Amino acid sequence: MPRKRSRARRQLDESSSDDDDLLIFSAAQIVSNFSNAKRRPGGSVPSHRVIYRDREGGHDRMFQDYLADNPTYGPDIFRRRYMMSRELFLRIMNAVEAHDDYFVQKRNAANVLGLSCFQKVTVAMRMLTYGVPADATDEYVRIGESTALESLRRFVAAVVDIFEDEYLRYPNEKDTACLLAMGERKGFPGMLGCIDCMHWAWKNCPYDKQGQYKGHVDKPTIILEAVALDDLWIWHAFFGMPGSHNDINVLHRSPLFANLAEGTAPQVNYTVNGHDYTMGYYLADGIYPSWATLVKSITLPMENKRQYFAKAQEAARKAVERAFGVLQSRFTIVRGPARIWDIETLALIMKACIIMHNMIIEDEGHVDPDERFDNGGENVEPEHGQTTRTLQEFIDAHKRIRDPETHVQLKEDLIEHLWNHHPDLYSF
């Protein structure tokens, strides 16, 4: 018996030794395969070839091209390729990096540096400004397709989270005073802006949603409702309604007049042709309803006064069309067909483009930040001591907003006001 136990122990020791040798060999083989990954095809996904992109070298070249003290491409070329000044770009990039840890450059398990924040933000900006596919930036930025798409999603979400409350918010009292002054200079006292809708084609709309998003054109589209004035600042943006809707349907679902109905909007008081008004209005085209807060043109005007008003209204209303054109020229992604599959990401892309559009306007000196952002915030605070409106007060406010008689009276007063006080403001 003792001899048998000794033989059993000896066999167990030999088996353990073989297992240890096998474990050591396997670990060495794994390390060898990892170190030779740059020279051998194959990766974590079967049949996928691992590409050595030289990310550090790509970052160094990009930094020398645009961000060095003596860059290869100066400020003018930077402005043309990034659609904004280098100072504004750095402000956005630093804010995004501080907001989302995804953009912080890290080392992987092999102690190799990953992509820099500059590379991830640049690939997002190239896709937004040029409208190129995700894999079209790999040759210069040195970033894969899936990482480029992830960087785009994270970037637009960070921009919205950081800057929405400042650059896409309801006007406060100072903002409203500036808007009223701009409207007065155009010959329209009480005007707060111009409203219109824009359709964005959705190329990769899922098949089960295509019927919902097809409207007057035979392809899926998504609608953006916006309000702008001559400085091209977009004060209101409501995006995401299916393309089967028109401007009227979108307006009924839009939060444009929510603050006015709730009693939290700044007070607007003005006099036109001897009549007093307490609600501002927006210039709109003929499809919009005859509300007290909307002023439309005149179809087939017969008298000189009405002809002059129609031309003046149509000329002033072009401000929102110009804002759409500038937005699409700066961010080509919203001009061409959208390739993203989900509506949530498209909404973030549109909102981020509008926010950066407003930031560019401020950076280029068209808007004085000291005048606009005195008490910045997402919502306008109600007057001191004002309580929440009751249901009946809320219903009465909606009725006043939709009052057709006030709409007709306001239009007649504006016709007389333009003819008597601004006869030479518009020359046609």
For strands 281-283 and 191-201, give the pairing: parallel
pLDDT single digits (tens) 223-233: 999 999 999 99
The DSSP call for residue 103 is G
Residue 57 above 80 pLDDT?
yes
pLDDT of residue 415: 95
pLDDT single digits (tens) 95-118: 999 999 999 999 888 888 899 999
pLDDT of residue 27: 55
* Cβ pair 201, 221 in contact under 8 A: yes
Which amino acid would we find at residue 231? D
Mean pLDDT in residue range 404-425:
92
DSSP string, 117-146: HHHHHHHHHHHHHH---GGGGHHHH---HH
Joined together, the tokens standing for residue 270 give 């003005």
Name the pTM for this structure.
0.83
How far is the C-alpha of 236 from the C-alpha of 226, rounded, in Å? Answer: 5
Residue ranges with strand state E in 265-339: 270-272, 275-277, 281-283, 294-295
113 Rama sector, left if φ>0, alpha if ψ -120 to 50, beta otherwise: beta
CA atoms within 13 A on the CB side of 267: 6
pLDDT of residue 47: 65
Mean pLDDT in residue range 195-207:
93
Phi, psi of 52 (to 5 degrees): -85, 110
> What are the residues whose beta carbons fall under 8 Å from the beta carbon of 398, sequence distance 6 or more?
261
pLDDT single digits (tens) 316-360: 999 999 999 999 999 999 999 999 999 999 999 999 999 999 999
What crossing angle do the helices spanning 117-130 and 55-62 adopt, rounded to 10°?
70
> What are the residues whose beta carbons fall under 8 Å from the beta carbon of 69, sequence distance 6 or more?
none
Residue 32 above 80 pLDDT?
no
Percent of the chain with pLDDT over 90: 65
Domain boundaries, the chain: 55-166, 171-421
How far is the C-alpha of 149 from the C-alpha of 155, rounded, in Å? Answer: 10
* Cβ pair 220, 197 in contact under 8 A: no
pLDDT single digits (tens) 122-170: 999 999 999 999 989 888 999 999 999 999 999 999 999 999 999 999 8
Measure CA of the first residue to CA of the last residue in the chain; give whole Å.
118
Mean pLDDT in residue range 48-74:
90
pLDDT of residue 48: 66
